[in-house]
Amino acid sequence: MKREIFDKEAFKKEVKDNVRMLYRKDLEEASEQEIFQAVSYAVKEVIIDQWMETQSSMKREDSKVVYYMSMEFLMGRALGNNLINLTAYQAVAEALEEMGLDLNVIEDQEPDPALGNGGLGRLAACFMESLSTLGYPAYGCGIRYRYGMFKQKIKDGFQVEVPDNWLKDGYPFELRRPEYTYEVKFGGYVRAVNTPDGRVKFVQEGYQSVKAVPYDMPIIGYNNHMVNTLMIWDAEPAECFELDSFDKGDYRKAVEQENLARNLVDVLYPNDNHIAGKELRLKQQYFFVSASVQRAIARFKKMHSDIHDLPKKVAFQLNDTHPTVAVAELMRYLLDEEELQWDDAWNITTQVCAYTNHTIMAEALEKWPIEIFSRLLPRIYQIVEEINRRFILQIQEHYPGDNGKIERMAIIYNGQVKMAHLAIAAGHSVNGVARLHTEILKNQELKDFYELFPDKFNNKTNGITQRRFLLHGNQLLAKWVTDHVGEEWITDLSKIEKLTLYVDDEKAQHEFMNIKYQNKLRLAKYIKEHNGIDVDPRSIFDVQVKRLHEYKRQLLNVLHIMYLYNELKEHPDMEFYPRTFIFGAKAAAGYKNAKLTIKLINSVAEVINNDKSIQDKIKVVFIEDYRVSNAEWIFAAADVSEQISTASKEASGTGNMKFMLNGAVTIGTMDGANVEMAEEVGKENMFIFGMSSDEVIAHEKNRDYDPMQIFNNDQDIRKVLMQLINGFYSPQDSELFRDLYNSLLNTQCTQYADTYFILADFRSYAEAQKAITEAYKDEKGWAKMAMLNTAHSGKFSSDRTIEEYVRDIWHLEKLTVEPEKED
């Protein structure tokens, strides 16, 4: 007999019982937060059964498992998505309605678990969801930061960071697993001990240790009973005052050890594409990696006796270099605990580990000073030294006498440990995240490594999960798509291509654009509530939401708005289609120009939004605290998607794909995955502008770009730039935006002026924007273009990406989870 996973009456009773059990209250007395908790526990009840079934069939099948190691998992809210994937969303919404409760309101009580910064962390979350939906056994390994990504407030136009205390009411979907506690050791020194059988053993002494306690979170597959696990590690003090035997009685050290555990996982470093190089960050890295490696090996050893079989059963995927110490930690385990010979251990390690690169930005490449690395991780450092020694021998063998190679490729050089070099030397696979990005890695950034290890390099173009970003985030469009092409797209996004049959059908066009309009109304209401700004849902919604970074060029966007405003003021009667420019972005707390750009956007908004003379033709909105939960609404409501990074700088981008899926048209450079989007939908259905990556790279090499020339020859650009320093947008302080002006023109500020070629691309951007207005005026033409974007987004499902990782790197088998028979 097939068991119903969801029984309405039973569920209602469960919710009521939970409110009583948890809070000693009746439903009527419970707060919205309490109801959210009660509902979530009722849902967890269903999840737990499937979770246990999944775990037992993984054991039964002895499946190979991937461990996706990542400092960041930007999960977003779980309740709504769990219900969607359990295919119980509608039923639960109805059950709650019968109880007088609104599922939307309840969903809104959940804090966003924001254990990540941006694209890299959200990619990890999409990957976990796809792994479960496709039926592949997987663990996510990360950190349970007590404070995630900060909450952003805008005060007087400036960003203010507020701590994100996401655990304050307790998080219902996590499960503490103290039975999987491990010890992680820091500091001390290494002593060589002679064993009775004539070998040398290395032991770490005088260290401080921390207890790693995992919390498991369920990752639910879509309609398949599969529940994988995200293990995120909390740090607890090793039993008070219990030190390494060597230091027993050292009171000061005991206190230090306790403090170490207290601070270790306090907070996520809020830097995107930038490394602060702080010692605590390296501690976080080793902490979660060591604990995860220990749990992975313990699980393997429960079922296997020969450690040489590890690569048959376990794959470690390193999400950027952040978890790269895993390589040395695995070596340490194999050498010190399993007592394998070096070559044997190395063989296993390289087969298990694989590395994904997510950027070519120099400031994001991790390099640790030897001093910090060796003091914190003395045994790990020894092992890295030995890896480096052997790697240099290999280089010398290949390129006798070529010291340049060693200088460029060594793992340890100039007093630094280079984590990317370690990851490449020690992994069997190195992948970029979009075709262009991988080509740049092979031909520029990692050229030497590609020459030495051509077979390791491969591309895995990123993707996104359509379950969150269409099925949950845009329920109107999801239903419409299903009505037209059937529901297969939910688990096979390539099927959405059948929509091309309708792109010339006027009724379909009308319905498609009407759904867009409904979503614009929903966002307009959100903006009114949160910003107090009225926006016209019939205006073009032009959206740039992503982390604030100079290479992503929010500054280009706002300079263009300033230019448009000047045009409108100079030619009040010019034809102008109303536009709403929407921004959302967090800036790293210490990133001055990024924070100043936020202030500029808000200052420009202030002036333009309050200028009656332009009759609301331009509105500028900065949405506070951009995060996964409001992102779902924003993508659904966008007409125009801004993907305007300097070509070559955005490794892939994933927001670009979320917009495309939701029927927004992209204005973008030929950068990252935009290139492949253009290939899928056709350049004629995007607005491509700006320099190519080859042109950018050539200018960087030749150092022959001179923005001052543009400034001198283009009076519109000059006028806009002068407005940065004449107080036009900052009457109280005309110097306020001086640094932004300088970043564009002053060579003394950075290695060269306008590092990101904003002025070089300005005119071609403005023309592309003009072309958008023209295209939008053609209602049918636009509807068709928007629909074609949705229809050709099939490639950009993270399901496709995961299948490629499985095929080329992980070699996993699908698991089927049969619900346990009840008889």
C-beta of 273 vs 466, nearer to ligand GPW: 273
C-beta of 481 vs 548, nearer to ligand GPW: 548
In DSSP notation, 254-269 reads: HHHHHHHHHHHTSB--
Which DSSP category does 560 fall into? H
Residue of 69, 120, 254, 345 that binds ligand GPW (CB under 6 A) = 120
* Antiparallel, parallel or unpaired: β 208-220 and 227-237: antiparallel
| Subset of 347-386 contacting ligand GPW (CB under 6 A) | 358-359, 364
- With tokens 């500029």, the residue in question is 600
In DSSP notation, 441-455 reads: IIIIITHHHHHH-GG
- Which span (118-126, 183-191, 593-601, 802-810) binds ligand GPW, by CB under 6 A? 118-126
Cβ distance 693 to 671 under 8 Å? yes
| Subset of 414-433 contacting ligand GPW (CB under 6 A) | 433
Q: How many angstroms from the chain centroid is the CA of residue 197?
A: 50
Task: Name the phi and psi angles at 490, rounded to 5.
Answer: -65, -35
Site residue total, ligand GPW (CB under 6 A): 19
| Strand partners of residue 643 | 668
Q: Report the C-alpha gap between 311 and 45 in whole angstroms.
A: 35
Query: By CB under 6 A, is residue 273 in contact with ligand GPW?
Result: yes
Least gap, CB of 281 to ligand GPW (angstroms): 12
Distances (CA, A) of 156 to 291, 392, 545, 612: 44, 55, 21, 21
Cβ distance 133 to 799 under 8 Å? yes
C-beta of 320 vs 511, nearer to ligand GPW: 320
In DSSP notation, 671-739 reads: -TTHHHHHHHH-GGGSEE-S--HHHHHHHHHHT---HHHHHHH-HHHHHHHHHHHSSSS-TT-TTTTHH
* Antiparallel, parallel or unpaired: β 540-545 and 640-643: parallel
C-beta of 182 vs 757, nearer to ligand GPW: 757
Least gap, CB of 69 to ligand GPW (angstroms): 13
Query: By CB under 6 A, is residue 586 in contact with ligand GPW?
Result: no
Which DSSP category does 336 fall into? I
Residue of 651, 686, 760, 812 that binds ligand GPW (CB under 6 A) = 651
C-beta of 123 vs 786, nearer to ligand GPW: 123
Least gap, CB of 445 to ligand GPW (angstroms): 12
| Strand partners of residue 95 | none
Write the single-letter amino acid at 534: D
Distances (CA, A) of 257 to 234, 236, 253, 292, 376: 15, 10, 6, 21, 13
| Subset of 129-158 contacting ligand GPW (CB under 6 A) | none
Task: Indicate the angle between helix axes 8-23 and 32-61, nearest 10 degrees.
Answer: 110
C-beta of 140 vs 672, nearer to ligand GPW: 672
Give the residue numbers marked as catalytic. 358, 546-547, 552, 654, 658
- Which span (115-123, 378-386, 699-707, 802-810) binds ligand GPW, by CB under 6 A? 115-123
Least gap, CB of 493 to ligand GPW (angstroms): 18
Least gap, CB of 588 to ligand GPW (angstroms): 10
Query: By CB under 6 A, is residue 214 in contact with ligand GPW?
Result: no
Query: By CB under 6 A, is residue 685 in contact with ligand GPW?
Result: no
Query: By CB under 6 A, is residue 650 in contact with ligand GPW?
Result: yes
C-beta of 356 vs 769, nearer to ligand GPW: 356
Q: How many angstroms from the chain centroid is the CA of residue 428?
A: 24
The pattern of x and - marking residues 295 through 324 that bind ligand GPW according to CB under 6 A reads: -------------------------x----
Residue of 83, 123, 330, 556 that binds ligand GPW (CB under 6 A) = 123
Cβ distance 467 to 81 under 8 Å? yes
Distances (CA, A) of 697 to 432, 443, 444, 763, 812: 18, 11, 9, 20, 38
Residue of 119, 221, 463, 690 that binds ligand GPW (CB under 6 A) = 119
| Subset of 652-681 contacting ligand GPW (CB under 6 A) | 652-654, 672
Q: What are the structure tokens assigned to 720, written together?
A: 């806009």
C-beta of 672 vs 794, nearer to ligand GPW: 672
C-beta of 319 vs 723, nearer to ligand GPW: 319
- Which span (45-53, 404-412, 651-659, 771-779) binds ligand GPW, by CB under 6 A? 651-659
Q: Which of 303, 380, 316, 310 is nearest to 60 (CA)?
A: 303
- Which span (116-124, 466-474, 682-690, 713-721) binds ligand GPW, by CB under 6 A? 116-124
Query: By CB under 6 A, is residue 117 in contact with ligand GPW?
Result: yes
Cβ distance 617 to 571 under 8 Å? no
C-beta of 320 vs 761, nearer to ligand GPW: 320
Least gap, CB of 463 to ligand GPW (angstroms): 10
Helix, strand, coil percentages in the chain from 3-state DSSP, rounded to 5 = 55, 15, 30
C-beta of 286 vs 737, nearer to ligand GPW: 286
Least gap, CB of 183 to ligand GPW (angstroms): 29
Give Rg (Cα) of the chain: 27
Q: Report the C-alpha gap between 93 and 84 in whole angstroms.
A: 11
Q: What are the structure tokens assigned to 727, written together?
A: 């107080």
- Which span (117-125, 212-220, 570-578, 699-707) binds ligand GPW, by CB under 6 A? 117-125
Least gap, CB of 464 to ligand GPW (angstroms): 10
Least gap, CB of 120 to ligand GPW (angstroms): 3
Cβ distance 816 to 135 under 8 Å? yes
- Which span (59-67, 177-185, 330-338, 647-655) binds ligand GPW, by CB under 6 A? 647-655
Least gap, CB of 762 to ligand GPW (angstroms): 23
Q: Which H helix or E strand runs over 466?
A: helix 466-466
Interaction site with ligand GPW (CB under 6 A): 117-120, 123, 272-273, 320, 358-359, 364, 433, 462, 650-654, 672
